[in-house]
């Protein structure tokens, strides 16, 4: 009984009109919470002491690491949506992965740029073609490819199915990014937060990092909901223009 109720509630959200109403109600709260968390995160980031080895440069971590996590999380959200498109033909699934691609590209760009700016003073180089950096660069190219593919095809349904297949094939890159620092000898440091034996990072750095990570995650979900709303409206505009053209042709 409870399960069928949950399925019914989930199916209700599959209705674009209901999604628009829900987004209109939630978006101002989500945007407000994101702004508050960013203010708190930035305060904690700049109030924290420097690292004994890296000095104040450790502050780059508070934007680099959340952006890098988001770059992978966004692709995971797209992969789940791609399954929704191909298996259940969920009305919002293709809207979801199309809307998420530019967001993922932007977070990956932040991760790459801030990583490079962190690498120069710490490693003495802007860039190395090691496993972690190269696999994240490949992720960035995949996002750009998916954006181009969605824009190149006129039929949104066909574009969604082709994109969904490509997203699922490209998902193999996500575990490669995550475990690249363990599988290969890289200049990039191994994981220090998400580990089986718990974080190895000091609490003084962990708290600002976690607050910034939650702020970035909330920013992603806010922008994703807004971008999905925009995509639904874009499709309605196209449908109404086609209807107007048919009426004018009679």
Q: Note whether 33 and 39 are within 8 A (CB).
A: no
Q: Closer CB to another protein, residue 178 or residue 235?
A: 235
Helix 131-152 vs helix 93-123: crossing angle, to nearest 10: 150
Report if residue 59 touches another protein, rule: CB under 8 A.
yes
Q: Closer CB to another protein, residue 75 or residue 118?
A: 118
Chain residues 157-196 in contact with another protein, contact rule CB under 8 A: none
Give the per-residue contact string, 222-241, with another protein (x = CB under 8 A; - = no).
-x--xx-xx--xx-xx-xxx
Phi, psi of 136 (to 5 degrees): -70, -35
Chain residues 109-148 in contact with another protein, contact rule CB under 8 A: 109-110, 113-114, 117-118, 120-121
Report if residue 106 touches another protein, rule: CB under 8 A.
yes
Q: Pick from 13, 26, 36, 56: which binds another protein (CB under 8 A)?
A: 56
Give the per-residue contact string, 17-46, with another protein (x = CB under 8 A; - = no).
x-----------------------------
Contacts 24+ apart (CB under 8 A), 173-182: 173/75, 173/135, 173/138, 173/139, 173/142, 174/72, 174/75, 174/76, 174/79, 174/139, 176/131, 176/135, 177/72, 177/132, 177/135, 177/136, 177/139, 178/72, 180/131, 180/132, 180/135, 181/131, 181/132
Q: Which residues of the shown chain bind another protein in the complex (CB under 8 A)?
A: 17, 55-57, 59-60, 63-64, 67, 102-103, 106, 109-110, 113-114, 117-118, 120-121, 219, 223, 226-227, 229-230, 233-234, 236-237, 239-241, 243-244, 247
């Amino acid at each position: 009984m409870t399960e069928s109720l949950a399925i019914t509630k989930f199916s209700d959200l599959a209705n674009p009109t209901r999604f628009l109403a829900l987004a209109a109600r939630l978006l101002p709260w989500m945007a407000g919470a994101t702004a508050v968390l960013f203010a708190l995160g930035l305060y904690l980031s700049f109030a924290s002491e420097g690292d004994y080895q890296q000095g104040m440069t450790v502050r780059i971590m508070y934007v680099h690491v959340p952006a890098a996590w988001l770059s992978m999380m966004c692709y995971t959200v797209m992969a789940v949506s791609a399954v929704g498109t191909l298996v259940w033909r969920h009305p919002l699934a293709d809207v979801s992965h199309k809307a998420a691609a530019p967001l993922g590209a932007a977070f990956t760009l932040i991760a790459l740029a801030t990583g490079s700016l962190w690498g120069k003073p710490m490693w003495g180089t802007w860039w190395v073609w090691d496993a972690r950096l190269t696999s994240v660069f490949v992720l960035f190219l995949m996002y750009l490819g998916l954006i181009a593919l969605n824009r190149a095809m006129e039929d949104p349904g066909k574009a969604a199915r082709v994109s969904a297949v490509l997203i699922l094939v490209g998902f193999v890159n996500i575990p490669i990014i995550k475990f690249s620092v363990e599988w290969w000898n890289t200049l990039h440091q191994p994981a220090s937060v998400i580990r089986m034996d718990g974080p190895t990072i000091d609490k003084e750095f962990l708290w600002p990092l976690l607050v910034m990570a939650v702020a970035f995650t909330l920013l992603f979900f806010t922008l994703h909901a807004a971008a999905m709303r925009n995509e639904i409206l874009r499709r309605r505009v196209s449908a109404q223009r086609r209807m107007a053209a048919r009426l004018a042709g009679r």
